[in-house]
Structure 1
Amino acid sequence: MDKFARMLPALLRRTDVVLELRDSRLPLTSINETLEGAIQKWRRERGRIAATSGLPAPASYGAATPCERIVVFNKRDLVPEWGLEPFRRAMLSKFPDHRLFFASWHRPRDIKALNEMLVSVAKEHPHAPELNVLVVGMPNVGKSTLLNALRNIGIPGPTAKALRTSSQPGLTRAISTRLKLSIDPLVYAYDSPGVMLPFLGRGDKGAERGVKLALIAGIKEGLYDVEALAAYLLYRLNVLNPRSPAYLQLLPDTATATADVLEFLDQLAARLGMLKRGGERDLSRAAVWFVKWWRDEGGLASASAPLSPASQTRQGWGFDFEWTVDARSGEDAPAMVQRKMEECIERYLVERREGAGVSVTQEKKKAREEKIAKRMAKTRARLVGRR
């Protein structure tokens, strides 16, 4: 990861399109500041972002050179459909230079639409002999799977699986050789190692980010106690559907929603017959089964959660958005959801500006670099004065 992060600026200089993959369940947590800074600098150098405001530059400026940043939210089938359009509008209100795309690798029409988007970018620049695409994102977000699917659609006839894939993070360890995605026009792509967040954050916020990433297998779940993962998953499923959480289908028909993870795991272990020697219920084994169920089946079940109409109810979308439902006069449900999402995004941006994503070690390193830069500037000034 460190090696790729160091290579990224040079790699971007020969890149025409950046496909940045994020997880729809963690659309904010999966924003990587390491990638964000490098991509923004690349777009400024290509004239696509105004150097001062950060907003998109005039369309005519730098348009001769391909420079597209497409943010792909993978696994759209694992979040409720009612939140997709409000989320898209909320993101564009805060990040106007982003080009957003929602996809699920299980839906061929999504892959086909993304392939057509890349081909259209290539056709907009007929003078360019080829279009080079760099796929970046966090570990286990689906980069290699995406490239295999794009290649399968873009190249006529049977194509072999070009890149290995895994359900665990860390399989891709180096930049791949160029992979052909389209013949006419020529489109090539590079796969890259997943780049982990440089720092998860301090205190409860940092701990929560880590648990979220462990649940989606973005980092190794062995770093966390499995019962802690189960407790957080239980909490989130209660927020996603306060009336009928998805986990109720695992329990007897008489069971009701609960916030007590020990009570839930005890019921689940009894239902599954998970007992230790002596007849004691095995809560740890039930917690492992619960997390695996959610990854394999429960994610789809929780994505069918309806938007709660009840005022003052806690509601969420994915694992990054949570709000209290309120009914303002004249405001329809999509407008309310968009407003709540914009508030969540603004809180995330405030945390980022206040340095929530910077560790003490990184702060010391930055201060040391600034001190060295000032010392060198003084030295240069003295040398100029002597001349």
Structure 2
Amino acid sequence: MSSFVPRTEFVYKQAATWFPGHMLGALKAMREQMNDIDLVIEARDARLPVSSRNPLLEEAVGARPRLIVYNKKDLAGDALDEKMIRSYQPRQKVMFTHSKNTNNMKQVIRFIKEVAKDIDRPIGTRALVVGMPNVGKSTILNALRHAGVRKGKAARTGNMPGVTRKVAGSVKILEDPVVFLIDTPGVMIPFVPNPLTMLKLALAGCIKQDVISSVTIVDYLLFHLNRQPTPPYVEFFKMKEPTNDVDTFINHVAKHSGRLLAGGVPDVENTALHLIDRYREGKFGVMVLDDQDADAWKRRIEEEEGVMSRGQQQKVIKAEWKAKRENKYVAKYGKKP
């Protein structure tokens, strides 16, 4: 193992987008409701403290009081620099949570209760939970409901992005003062200017599985695992030494775990998905995928400034929808509509 030299950088330049139609509808519904909202809870992924910020949500929220919750901190571990992350947006209240940690959720409930008492709305305070897909919004809602009123699951959850597809009704999470929380669909950015950011989001499960090749995602995972002093997969899968070659890695794991096709050929796709799932479950240990220094945050903001305006984004999305409808028509009738 002493002779192994891990890669110092990961080069990925393939642009990818994922912005299904329900997200545009969700953004519109959020903006329409915002006048009745007293507090916005923005969920982000602690493994992606920079990449899981969505400027479209910041725009939709406007000047509303906001709590930023970096969820899944149990999967980020001690590498998470909470002090640095708080410095990114010093005027915002920032908390770090693991939704299954009761104490974490009680801390969030205490903050919401303080805000609600200051607002003192006779009909109850209304809060909205927003964020990118699969950062744990619905899970946070359920955990806050349990911590606040000791009631069970109210929002459907899942490990894949896109489980919540429309703005839901309100759920009571506090009795005194009364607070209602509204779940919303995860919203991506129509165009992510940095391909590597999209790859990080894919590894964390924030975008649909087939947008980026599963082998490419595993290659990026391998890059991060090899940055650890002792890559954990070597012992897990009984490898002689670490490797920078993703094909070698996947083929070995396929044979070790019995994921083989006819004739003993490694089932590459099945094995790649298995490795991605193990990472998301924390089986390879904890890690933060983003750089966390102040320059990383600054670079992210500069990238966002190059993103198309909302009007331009909607034009692109509508053009894509039109093209898809035309393609379906041509496939069915053999001519353009």
Give me the TM-score of the superposition, normalised by structure 2. Answer: 0.80
| Residue identity in the other structure for 1:3 | G
Alpha-carbon separation, structure 2, partners of 1:179 and 1:284: 40
* Residue deviations 1:54-98 (CA, integer Å, cap 9, x gap): xxxxxxxxxxxxx521000010000122x33xx333233332222
Shift in alpha-carbon separation, 1:92–1:111, aligned structure 2, 3 A: closer
Aligned to 1:362: 312
TM-fit CA distance, 1:17: 0.8
* Residue deviations 1:116-140 (CA, integer Å, cap 9, x gap): 1111212233465521111011112
Shift in alpha-carbon separation, 1:265–1:186, aligned structure 2, 3 A: same
Q: Do 2:50 and 2:296's aligned partners in 1 also have CA atoms closer than 8 Å?
A: no
TM-fit CA distance, 1:266: 2.3
Query: Are residue 133 (structure 1) and residue 121 (structure 2) matched?
Result: no
Aligned to 2:214: 226
TM-fit CA distance, 1:185: 0.7
Q: 2:252 aligns with which of 261, 267, 273?
A: 267
Q: 1:80 aligns with which of 77, 80, 83?
A: 77
Alpha-carbon separation, structure 2, partners of 1:144 and 1:257: 38
Q: Do 2:251 and 2:268's aligned partners in 1 also have CA atoms closer than 8 Å?
A: yes
Shift in alpha-carbon separation, 1:4–1:277, aligned structure 2, 3 A: closer
* Residue deviations 1:299-322 (CA, integer Å, cap 9, x gap): xx421xxxxxxxxxxxxx51111x
| Residue identity in the other structure for 2:236 | L
| Residue identity in the other structure for 1:177 | G
Alpha-carbon separation, structure 2, partners of 1:360 and 1:114: 32
Alpha-carbon separation, structure 2, partners of 1:351 and 1:224: 21
Q: 1:287 aligns with which of 263, 269, 272?
A: 272
When the two chains are superposed, the root-mean-square deviation of aligned CA atoms in Å is: 2.4
* Residue deviations 1:331-380 (CA, integer Å, cap 9, x gap): xxxxxxxxx61122122222223x0x3389938969xxxxxxxxxxxxxx
Aligned to 1:384: none
| Residue identity in the other structure for 2:235 | Q
Query: Are residue 191 (structure 1) and residue 183 (structure 2) matched?
Result: yes
Aligned to 1:345: 297
| Residue identity in the other structure for 2:289 | F
Q: Tell me, what secondary structure is at the counterpart of 1:346?
A: helix
Q: Tell me, what secondary structure is at the counterpart of 2:44?
A: strand
Query: Are residue 33 (structure 1) and residue 58 (structure 2) matched?
Result: no
Q: Do 1:250 and 1:268's aligned partners in 2 also have CA atoms closer than 8 Å?
A: no
Shift in alpha-carbon separation, 1:37–1:359, aligned structure 2, 3 A: closer
TM-fit CA distance, 1:180: 0.5
Q: 2:231 aligns with which of 223, 245, 258?
A: 245
Alpha-carbon separation, structure 1, partners of 2:160 and 2:288: 21
Alpha-carbon separation, structure 2, partners of 1:128 and 1:361: 38
* Residue deviations 1:241-294 (CA, integer Å, cap 9, x gap): 1x1123223221x62222111121222122223333223333333222211221
| Residue identity in the other structure for 1:261 | V
Aligned to 1:62: none
Aligned residues: 294
TM-fit CA distance, 1:20: 0.2
| Residue identity in the other structure for 2:212 | Y
Q: Do 2:166 and 2:185's aligned partners in 1 also have CA atoms closer than 8 Å?
A: yes
Taking only the aligned residue pairs, the percentage that are identical comes to: 33
Query: Are residue 171 (structure 1) and residue 159 (structure 2) matched?
Result: no
| Residue identity in the other structure for 1:35 | L
Structure 1 regions of 5+ residues with no counterpart?
44-66, 304-316, 322-339, 367-387
Structure 2 regions of 5+ residues with no counterpart?
1-22, 317-337
Alpha-carbon separation, structure 2, partners of 1:364 and 1:174: 18
Shift in alpha-carbon separation, 1:167–1:281, aligned structure 2, 3 A: closer
Larger Rg: 1
Alpha-carbon separation, structure 1, partners of 2:26 and 2:116: 26
Q: Tell me, what secondary structure is at the counterpart of 1:218?
A: coil
Aligned to 2:105: 111
| Residue identity in the other structure for 2:169 | T
Shift in alpha-carbon separation, 1:225–1:365, aligned structure 2, 3 A: closer
Q: Tell me, what secondary structure is at the counterpart of 1:232?
A: helix
Alpha-carbon separation, structure 2, partners of 1:276 and 1:365: 45
